[in-house]
Amino acid sequence: MPTSAEVLRRTGGQRLKTVLFTETAIAHRVAELGREITAAYPDGELLVLGLLKGSFIFLSDLVRKIERPLQIDFLVASSYGSGTTSSGDVRLLYDPETRLEGKHIVLTEDIVDTGNTLRKLLGILKDRQPASLSVCALLDKAEMHAPMSEVRFVGFVAPKAFLVGYGLDHSEDFRHLPFIADLK
């Protein structure tokens, strides 16, 4: 657990409410998720598709724990402005260049919050006829959305809080933190 002084140094003096998931806990769970994905996809073409920007750190650590050949691509969607809640207006800003048809796709997401962005993206991806489509989310606020069968791999169940760190941001700040904390 980082000390208060370490947190303040990393955040430029901004206080966070509490650290919920430590760097060690995240590393352990990401390794487990890598093993789960390796076991779930023993053959066929595997594409790990990262939803930017929030998933980039998680995806980077995750793909190094998946012990089989895979491809990586990204997409960018936006549903947040500078606030702390989703706007509900989902915009696709970058579409993957990789062919999706016939591949096992694992969409990697930093956090499933309301599920609005994810539902839209799953519809778009399903139309491209992958062999299979699942979601690997580092965090899932499961009590905030209806169940989605595609959310197959989950790192941690997250509380109703605005979380930052390990790729998650508030107005582009805090992504670099090696832990996940509740923004005060």
113 is catalytic: yes
- Out of 61, 110, 113, 169, the active site residue is 113
Backbone dihedral region for residue 156 (phi beyond 0: left; psi -120 to 50: alpha; all else: beta): beta
CA 183/CA 89 separation, integer angstroms:
23
> What 3-state class would DSSP assign to 43?
coil
Neighbours of 170 (CB within 10 A): 16
Residue for token pair 């309301």: 114
Contact 86, 113 (CB under 8 A): yes
Contacts of 65 (CB under 8 A, 6+ apart): 30, 31, 33, 34, 35
Catalytic residues: 113
